[in-house]
A = this chain, B = another copy of it.
Amino acid sequence: MPVVVQKYGGSSVADPDKIRNVARRIASTYDAGNQVVVVISAMGDTTDDLIALAHQINDQPDSREMDFLLSTGEIVSSTLMAMALHKMGYKAISLNGRQAGIWTDNSYSKAKILKVESDRIVGELNKGNIVIVAGFQGITGESDVTTLGRGGSDTTAVALAISLRASVCQRFTDVDGIYTADPRFCSEAHKLKEIGYDEMLELTCCGSKAMHYRAVELAGAYNMPILVASSFNEAAGTLIHGGESMEVRNKVRGIAHDLDVAKITLTGIPHQPGIAASIFEPLTEAGISVDTIVQNAFQAVTTDLTFTVSKEDLKKAMDVIQSMAKSIRAKEVVSDSQLGKVSIVGTGMLNTPGYASKMFSALSKENINIQLITTSEIRITCIIDESRVKDAVRALHKAFELEKD
């Protein structure tokens, strides 16, 4: 019997009615003749509520305790889902990360899956059970509970799908697929029928919240197809896969954006080895995640270095940088917290001339000033004023003719 792994996000199981709705969808997949494994996130805002509760007790909670605390959210939603299926007359059992065999390292709050031992799941499937797995969590060799970080339930689902040799990993949430741009920003945006793993990766890295990048990366490595669809309607979703047509497609596939960008620039720093390390090591130690880094060495002796962080981390990052500015002989430290990011994403762009210039020209026509530019194999990103991100998305969607299906 084919195995299908489904994953439902927190908004899809936010209350008893929504849990019942999801239970009906699970049951119909089972009735269609599949063995069904379901990965569930915590209900609605549960995780945020637990974090807030912990912060009332300790503003810097220990990460082992925090992971242990947060892991309860997914157990609550999983047990309730099993009860909902029982009520409909189906056999079902919920499993936590340990019972589901999700073994991880002990990097709390962002643990990596080391292996999946799916014997228990297989045993329950063979007993005729629908298996509900608490997402987002795993267990260390010392029996301590870990979490995989935000969006970790996506990773749980993909890892289980691979381990169980599932035919597909279906990911249901309140978003019904991958769009050419954010429909709230661009009314011409339309849903893609399919997208490659690499393209999806660049979209998720650029602020598209549709799918966690670790899950996409993992799925890509094992060529596990992921269907992204809505849990609230029956509309066809987007299939993320690695089909043959991917390599030859030479086209911008979507416009990604991110409104959560702040930037710090150090000017006049000595252009010598070790400077970059002396700047970024203390940031890493302070737990600050740096996104884009641009260094522009326009003269031999000194250089300017700019990097971006999330707006939330800006104050902490500035504290770190200002405390070292003197020792590294920086001339000036300036920051800007009102920035955004806009990207065009598509396989093979960099091998084809004209994409970059077309992007810059489209932004220029809208009188949008580009502050930073970075590129990858399949992405070109511009950092611009936050206030112009919406205009930029629209302009680029039009320039690359994404309104045409």
Instruction: List residues of A whose CB falls within 8 A of some B CB.
Output: 16, 19-20, 50, 53-54, 56-59, 61-62, 64-66, 68-69, 71-72, 75-76, 78-80, 82-84, 86-87, 93-94, 96, 98-99, 120, 143-145
How far apart sit A68 and B133, CA to CA, in the bound complex (Å)? 12
Q: Which residues of B contact A98 (CB under 8 A)?
A: 98, 143
How far apart sit A53 and B46, CA to CA, in the bound complex (Å)? 14
How far apart sit A83 and B57, CA to CA, in the bound complex (Å)? 7
Q: How far is the CB of A396 from chain B (nearest CB, A)?
A: 46
Q: Which residues of B contact A86 (CB under 8 A)?
A: 58, 61-62, 65
Q: How far is the CB of A95 from chain B (nearest CB, A)?
A: 9
When C-beta atoms are compared, the residue in chain B nearest to A72 turns out to be: B72
A82 adjacent to B62 (CB under 8 Å): yes
- Which of A64, A96, A98 has the most C-beta atoms of chain B within 10 angstroms of its own C-beta? A96
How far apart sit A66 and B83, CA to CA, in the bound complex (Å)? 8
Contact partner of A62 (CB less than 8 A), chosen from B57, B83, B143, is B83
Contact partner of A80 (CB less than 8 A), chosen from B69, B79, B80, B96, is B69
Known: A16-B56, A54-B80, A80-B57. A68 touches B87 (CB 8 A): no
Q: Which residues of B contact A76 (CB under 8 A)?
A: 50, 53, 69, 72
Q: Which residues of B contact A83 (CB under 8 A)?
A: 54, 57-58, 61-62, 65-66
Q: How far is the CB of A65 from chain B (nearest CB, A)?
A: 4
Q: How far is the CB of A36 from chain B (nearest CB, A)?
A: 17
Known: A68-B94, A79-B66. A57 touches B87 (CB 8 A): yes
B64 adjacent to A19 (CB under 8 Å): no
